Amino acid sequence: MCANRNIFAVGLDGVVRMRSGLDDNQRRTPNFDSPYGLEWATVAANPENYEIDQVSCGFKGKVWATNPNGQIFRRTEIDGDHPSGTAWTFVESSFNAKMVAVGDNGPVWATADNSDVYRRVGISNADFEGNAWELVSPNSLKQVSVGTCQVWGVNVWHEVFRRRGLT
């Protein structure tokens, strides 16, 4: 779940969806009558040729995704009027991404198909995309999950690791 109470998911059909009805749109407050939302709504402008297969969301509607070709995308213009955003933006990388993870306060980490671990640098409140990928740990993890002050990861032998601090 994103910090702005949105839930994004990718269906088995490859369509990106967002859970609607979690908030009362008039007051933008939690919908206590239906705390699990009302339905799954298709995310508009889903890129047909991108074939999104993994999505992660974090603080202030930061939604990032990957596709089977190892490409990375970021959802743009997510706000109160457009809770699912308006478009996908391609984010350049020098590696084939396996997955991307977004933390509560904005950090974005990714794993490559060769198990390299990267973090996105330059992300701020003024720049949600950042400007570069930094290799953090070569050939180490197949999956990461980012929290407020730590990163969790799993390697190819299913061992779990924790990294304290995000820098």
Q: For tokens 């999950």, name the residue.
A: 145
pLDDT(50) > 60: yes
Regarding pTM above 0.75, the answer is yes
Mean pLDDT, rounded, for 2-9: 72
Mean pLDDT, rounded, for 65-70: 92
The residue ranges of every structural domain in the chain are 8-141
Highest mean pLDDT pick, 24-28, 44-48, 76-80: 76-80
User: For 85-135, what is each residue's pLDDT tens digit?
Assistant: 888 889 999 999 999 999 877 789 999 999 999 999 998 878 888 999 999
| Topology adopted by domain 8-141 | Methylamine Dehydrogenase; Chain H (2.130.10)
Structure tokens at 34: 């239906």
Confidence of residue 27 (pLDDT cuts 50, 70, 90): very low
Contact 166, 121 (CB under 8 A): no
Contacts of 3 (CB under 8 A, 6+ apart): 58, 59, 60, 61, 104
Q: What residue type is 139 in one-letter code? A: N
pLDDT value at position 95? 98
pLDDT value at position 30? 60
Contacts of 92 (CB under 8 A, 6+ apart): none
